[in-house]
A and B are shown apart, each in its own frame.
Chain A
Amino acid sequence: MAPVPKIRLGGVKKRFGDKVVLDGVDLEVAPGESVIIIGGSGTGKSVTLKCILGLLEPDAGRIEIDGEDVTKLAGRERERVNAKIGMLFQGAALFDSLPVWENVAFGLIEGKGADRKSAKAEALKALAQVGLTADVGEMWPADLSGGMRKRVGLARAVCARPEILFFDEPTTGLDPIMGDVINELIVKTVHEMGATALTITHDMASARKIGHRIAMLYQGRIVWAGPVADIDRSGNAFVDQFIHGRAEGPIKMAVRA
């Protein structure tokens, strides 16, 4: 018998007004697995993560975490489930009113009730992992560069050691070397903590490095999913066009001259 998937999406649909964004997404992520979601800009990758977290309510379909139906959870129940998940937002979403280290330690202090001193030590450790020094910890989010914000967001996501990690474009806006440091960190986190990861990225080098499997989202559905090794011989025209970044192909970008 196959193990219960850590995350399972079945026929998830979401529309905004009459704009259909997700049109029946099916996806399974096994425990300890790292799955990458690729897909064009605006295809609903971030919306998918927000549906799993309960930040958006799907119009139809079912979302399970550890076999538990979480689609309609709210309040305390939702908090209990979300405590398993760490999320890096696409725009980092750091709290402006708190210094960097308190941002990183937030999940420990508020979520798990840790005392501030030990939480700070943990936060500084997490910051060091993403290449940020202790003096950055004393700075305010507004004073950071875009790439630094992203890394602080990453440190915040992993600091409380959640079982499940969502990364929305973890390497976007980073230089290639720092991008690779982040890739290694994600690999290590998944490997050492045994965490399950779901990552959105446009960076194919990063996808190959951190993913076990890749799923491609197009027009509201997963059009292809398979092991990373198979990505170059997927036999899927959408995937081929996407990974080679060709303007010509079955994917039509809504661009008008």
Chain B
Amino acid sequence: MPVLAPIGRAFLALLAVAGRLALFAAAGIGHAVRPPYYPRLVGKQMLEIGYFSLPVVGLTALFTGMVLALQSHSGFARFNAESAVATVVVLSITRELGPVMAGLMVAGRVGAAIAAEIGTMRVTEQIDALTTLSTNPFKYLVAPRLIAGLVTLPVLVLLADIVGVFGGYLVGIYRLEFNPANYLKLTWQYLETLDVVSGLVKAAAFGFIVTLMGCYHGFNSRGGAQGVGVATTNAVVSSSVLILGANYFITAAFFGT
């Protein structure tokens, strides 16, 4: 069947990529847990991934919280459930929107930067040069980024959660005229530890995905400036898709009953 052949080929190609990616990830993790370690580089990457992402992640979370408050208020007014606004805001932010929004913003910012940097190092033979200087590129380039992504994103998302809830609070108080004490009480009332923890687990997974895809595409880039451009695009697109996919499965694992 001529129609099935291309589908089969595409499927096999997908499997091959998944296999290569899994091997790459395994090598990255293997080198991250075995010495020598590069604490300086991990620190530098944490600064790069976490600290410098604060403004964009903070703003995104703030506006998301504000919009959530407005939307849920106008929607719930139809069946007189306006008092649910605070709960909807805090649950949506901690479980879903905090980690997903932060993950996507970091994918655009950090994933692209990692792919461009490592891709340039590949095409200008800097990665080869590392090897000749008895330094393993996986240890020196990949492992610090994976570690930094894994530990920094949860912190970033925790802050995003706070800012997002605060955004909802601002709109609730100044626009929707809730009583401040009452709004805060409603915010806490139905919030469970698991809501926050599941979000932080997602954040760690997303941090790993973003840095892994940035490193993977950068490492495998070919063919000069154009190749680096392609690697950057692929890193952002693939990590965004993987984030949304992983989000479903983690949610299902936590709350799928």
Contacts and interface: CB of A to CB of B under 8 A. Distances in A.
Most interface-central of B125, B130, B135 (chain A CB within 10 A): B125
Interface stretch (A5-13, A89-97, A235-243): A89-97
Contacts of B131: 53-55, 78, 82
A110 B120 contact: no
A91 B134 contact: no
A110 B134 CA distance: 8
A160 B126 CA distance: 18
Most interface-central of B117, B126, B135, B140 (chain A CB within 10 A): B126
Given A91-B124, A95-B126, A106 B132 contact: no
A87 B140 contact: no
Interface string A139-168: 000000000000000001000100000000
Interface in A47-97: 50, 53-55, 75, 78-80, 82-83, 85-87, 89, 91, 93-97
Interface residues of B, number: 16
Interface in B110-143: 117, 120-121, 124-126, 128-136, 140
Contacts of B132: 53, 55, 82, 85-87
B169 to A, nearest CB: 42
Nearest to A168: B125
A53 B125 CA distance: 13
Contacts of B124: 91, 93
Contact of B136 (A53, A79, A97, A160): A79
A50 B131 CA distance: 11
A111 interface: yes
A103 B23 CA distance: 30
Nearest to B38: A110
B136 A87 contact: no
A97 B38 CA distance: 15
B251 to A, nearest CB: 38
B134 A89 contact: no
A110 B133 contact: yes
Given A54-B131, A55-B131, A82-B131, A91 B136 contact: no
A50 B135 contact: no
A83 to B, nearest CB: 5
B136 A89 contact: no
A111 B134 contact: yes
A107 B140 CA distance: 13
B221 to A, nearest CB: 15
Nearest to B128: A55
Contacts of B121: 95-96
A106 B133 contact: yes
A71 to B, nearest CB: 16
B135 A106 contact: yes
Contacts of B130: 95
B125 A89 contact: yes
Contacts of A53: 128, 131-132
A86 B132 CA distance: 7
B178 to A, nearest CB: 50
A110 B125 CA distance: 18
Interface string B90-128: 000000000000000000000000000100110011101
A97 B117 CA distance: 9
A89 B123 CA distance: 13
A93 B133 contact: no
A80 B124 CA distance: 24
Interface in B133-183: 133-136, 140
A107 B132 CA distance: 9
Contacts of A50: 128
Interface string B56-88: 000000000000000000000000000000000
A89 B129 contact: yes
Given A75-B136, A82-B134, A93-B126, 12 more contacts: A53-B132, A79-B134, A82-B132, A83-B134, A86-B132, A87-B129, A87-B132, A91-B124, A93-B129, A94-B126, A106-B133, A111-B135
18 contacts: A50-B128, A53-B131, A55-B128, A55-B132, A78-B131, A82-B132, A87-B132, A91-B124, A93-B129, A95-B121, A95-B129, A96-B121, A96-B126, A97-B117, A106-B133, A106-B135, A110-B134, A160-B133
Interface of A: 50, 53-55, 75, 78-80, 82-83, 85-87, 89, 91, 93-97, 106-107, 110-111, 156, 160
Interface of B: 117, 120-121, 124-126, 128-136, 140
The 5 closest A-B pairs by CB, nearest first: A111-B134, A93-B125, A93-B129, A87-B132, A83-B134
